[in-house]
Structure 1
Amino acid sequence: MTTATPTRAAGATRTGGTLSPVSFATLTLVEWRKQLDTRAGRWIVAVIAIVTAGVLAVMMAVGGGDHSFSAFVVGTTMPMAMLLPIVGVLAATSEWSQRTALVTFTLEPRRTRVGLAKVVGAIGSGVALLVVTVGLAALAHVLVVAFRDATPAWDATGALVGGLAITTVLYMAQGVGFGLLLRSTPGAIVTLFLAPTLFNLLGGLVPGMVDVLPWVDLTTAAMPLTGLTWPDGAGWAHLATSTLIWVVAPLVGGLWRTARSEISSS
């Protein structure tokens, strides 16, 4: 008579427990922490804080500080929006700049999942910084009203804050997309800032490009989002097409390249 030998259940560890995959929330938290784990990431956040404080100081000093709340919000968030994509680039290129890609994708072989976690983490950072910036703008307006006799003007609308939030999300996703696609921090940053500049120069030099520019340039298409009202139908159409070109295409290409390319330790 033979006896059956018990076999270990699939997914069980030697201690009898089961192995569970890393949750997307945990993966996103890890990718979010990577944004501040490097000196470059900390320096970018520090520069954003310094620039924001400088803009607020100038606005509080010029014209007796008599600016509306919406003016403070736009004045502080626009420089932040210009620098935020760098945070997205650093989040996307960390595996290759720090040479940790092999470790990361060994612990989590689903590479597209890692890329999406980078997108969500970067967007979360952008939205958090936007909330802080709007709060600082509100504080600055309170101070100029209280100490500089400025006229109270709490005129910021939901459309303005929502438009700035959409702009922040698009720019952060764009930074991650360029970072995943190029895998080079300097190359992604240069391309991210040089390409829109060339488009704007082309629009100024070629008369026929003036009407085309809102359809193909994200910066031009996003400008109506900084107003107190929502863009019209044409404005949303401009934003949609430019987003497909400058955000969706690099992001899809970057995720595809991450999932398909060979990963090495060097």
Structure 2
Amino acid sequence: MRIHDTAVRQQALTRLRAGAKNAEVARALNVPLGTISYWRHVDRAARGECPGRPHRLCPRCHGRALDEAAYAYLLALYLGDGHLIQHAAHRVPSLMITCDDHWPGLMDACEAAMRTVFPDNSVCRVSKKGCHNVKVYSKHLWCMFPQHGPGKKHERPIALEGWQQGIVEHHPWEFIRGFIHSDGCRITNWTTRTVAGERKRYEYPRYFFTNTSADILRLYTAALDRTGVAWKHTRQSRAAKTVSVAKRDSVALMDQHIGPKY
């Protein structure tokens, strides 16, 4: 098979863009007509000029508009319960978020965020015992989630890039919601007290977020600090650590913007 130099391909594209016909360019450069046709098709697809299936542009590579609120939510879901997978049998990697079947609304929100961030890509749900894996396929997942790497998240450094940090600072509540929907929860604690000789039951809500990665915990608490939510670490002997939001004003703020899973 003959390999054509990059300069030859660029000459061909220059002539084609100027209006030359495929056969004319093939004769002039001594390149097979099929090769010229393929070069032209790829060039037109990259510029979004092909009819039918649209070219899938990337916000990072091509400057396509990005819904930053949806991305902040999806980023937190990925950091909590997500994985980037590249199977040998598939040419395109996938982002997989595992969602418990007890929370169908969460699953819908996850799928909606994927479709918003990747409007031209395939999104599906794969049923597993007690859960569904919500998946999106894209060649640009590495661009959008640079935190991916070998090994488990808690065994490698996790830090946001500058452009991600800007998005999170502009959309902290969406970022927090993604964390609560992945590795967090809203629960109602209760206690009893004796008042005027009568035993009374008192209930109070709290928010918890549990993760093994110290870096991911710092990203979560930094977002809480940005929104004015008071938090504290709970005492635990296990490897995973839990951040608690228990003060009444802070819980009310979380209820206003986050609420329980559904």
TM-score range, shorter chain: under 0.3
From the two aligned structures, give the one with the greater strand fraction.
Answer: 2
Greater RCO (CA < 8 Å, at least 6 residues apart): 1
TM-score (structure 2 length as normaliser): 0.22
Of Structure 1 and Structure 2, the greater helix share is in: 1
> If you compute each CA radius of gyration, which structure gives the higher value, 1 or 2?
2
